[in-house]
Structure 1
């Protein structure tokens, strides 16, 4: 299995995994178990997804049956916005580990560089973006305070690697000024409609691994009401490459990322598609094909918190 070696620890993060966003709770345990059986070793979850207990059930079943050892899995989770204060961040990570039924996360990310008012998990979990009044409630906690808590999770052996999600270069460079434990992975929305070339170059220079989510662009957002944008899987540059290599358009879009050393975590509820996704590294695109697909860039971002509240303009 193709992997990325993380600089600080030397841990190997698989290039292709399974994203758990939007996997229904009643299907999640079975999908995770089947994915592991099919060869998936990277599972990408988050407290905000609300399905970590079920994902953990799938993992525990695979472990009990001897399909895999814990040290052969790479499990990622993310700290939600309402838990950014030092003590709440550490408590949240421990709660999430309990949900998964594991002793440590291989990678723990700060989900967004946005701090929201604390919500007691006993009252509502996951807390989401909005309060009971359906408004966003910001909370004054510095990213540096949150990062200190992340570092202490590493010290305590609860987390092997830490990183950042949904950030731009300025915040990444700022964290490097005070980080005692440096970020090993940055996870962002990245696909041929949003190529993020400058961030790709920066992370490469810094030796920080990059993970792309929403690799299929608008595909995962159509069911949320997103419309008016042609599917990446129908773009001629993608279709032509798929035909030339006798692969699916989905495999081509994933290979466009992984061939450049960018990890991908496509979500799927179908075991056959999960296997197809894992097979995306079985061929190489030509340089012309990589460039043609990259030219589809339109700086089109689907996941932008400013759509919820203009004060959340983290990509402004």
Structure 2
């Protein structure tokens, strides 16, 4: 999720101030003061979580939406209940603010900060680990992030796509960016429905299906979620897009259905400014019955 217009990035770190309590807000039992920058993952070369890796889509944690706020609070969002659960506070070893996030099929959140660095976060307890990613590769200083399956068969794996100075992929083992092509969507956040990649531009409220090989626009949908120069985030769950937009100290939550072409504000005020969101490709493609 892109936090603010790139021209304002130097004015961060937190993109905006404000704390609060969301509608439907509950505290997790393990929520508490900021944790130390440690993790349950094994470390190698100061890098990303490696061994042991949890299985893909192993539990409910990999199937929900996650958001991060300007106060570095890390939350699990339950779309069916329209409620947020605070998992913890990010204790990543940086003074920079949170900027963007994506979730993989093993339940790891990849969180970008305003200094361009990326950290691996455990979605069960919000513990944080640095990665070997080097900021500024191929001119990508800041970017939106989202995983998409390589094909309709999950066994073929997934890739992490980033939208910044064009469209690129980010290898989560080597942490190298590979440029794919230009984008016409402006500042954008990414999410996927299975193997289909989508970009959300908060300046226009448009959701665009992208060609994953080139970045070309293949289809567009116009939503009511428009917020010039505000914080925004984007995720898919249950056949709908979930759009988090706001400025100041609070975001609203809007759903958009590509089937009905309807936008609905489902939470007018969350009580926190959300600057990152993500759902993995384990998320349901249709609403659970």
Q: TM-score, normalised by structure 2?
A: 0.27
Q: TM-score, normalised by structure 1?
A: 0.26
Higher share of residues assigned helix: 1
Higher relative contact order (Cα pairs below 8 Å, separated by 6+ residues): 2
Greater radius of gyration (CA): 1
